[in-house]
Each structure stands twice: as C-alpha cells, then as structure tokens.
Amino acid sequence: MPHFDEFYANKLRGTLGVTDAESVLDLRGAPRPQAEASLADMLERSRFAKGKTVAVRLDAPTPGGGETLFQPVGRQLLDAKRRGWVDRLQTLPSQDGLGFYVALSGRPDKAQEAR
C-alpha cells in the first residue's frame, strides 16, 4: 500500500492473527451448541484470570451449507465486549481463515477496584 505509512497499512490489513494470539480456540467442525458453550466457558473463565489474547477459528462457509458460526459467535463476543470482558475484537486476516482475534480483559486489578 504505497500511499499509507506502514503502521496504517497494517491496521487496514488486520495484521493481528492466529500467530499473534497467546492461544487458539478452534471451533472448526463443532456443532453450534458445543461452540457456544465452549466460547461461554472461555469468557467466564477469563473473568478470573489474567487478560490474554485468543484467536477464535471458525469454519468457512460452504456452498449451500447454511448458516455458519460466524454470526452467533460474533454476537456472543459483542455481548462480552459490552459487559467489559473483551478489550479488543476484530476479525482474523483473510490468510488465517474465518474467525476473530479477541483480547480478553481478564480480572480487574485490586487497585482499580478500590477506586
């Protein structure tokens, strides 16, 4: 991208992907109820642990395959962001496939709770 500084070009490309995440939640091939339960469990556990980054991988849509997990998982992550459990949420770059890059907030510091 010749007209952008490298920093802004990387922001447009969405450079944070699977290799940048501290862990990966691979939901490819999982049925919707299991995927939603796994994501809910990860979000709940993250509230009591140190914040970390997670790449959530999903199946790509198939022709005539119906609904993918992208919308239900996206809604669940957006709800967690509204609750303050997620600091950053973005889609994975195209070379990593379908999914989300998520920065979990983790447990608040004791010093912040006292304020």
* CATH number of the CATH domain containing 80: 3.30.110.40
Please state the pTM of the whole predicted model: 0.79
Helix (H, G, I), strand (E, B) or coil at 81: helix
Under 8 Å CB-to-CB from 71, ≥6 apart: which residues? Answer: none
Tens digits of per-residue pLDDT, 41-91? 999 999 999 999 999 999 988 888 778 899 999 999 999 999 999 999 999
Number of folded domains in the chain? 1
In a domain, 113, yes or no: no
Q: Which domain holds residue 67?
A: 6-107
Using the predicted structure, report yes or no on whether residue 93 has a pLDDT greater than 70: yes
Q: Is the pLDDT of residue 14 over 60?
A: no
Closest CA to 54 of 84, 27, 83, 72: 27
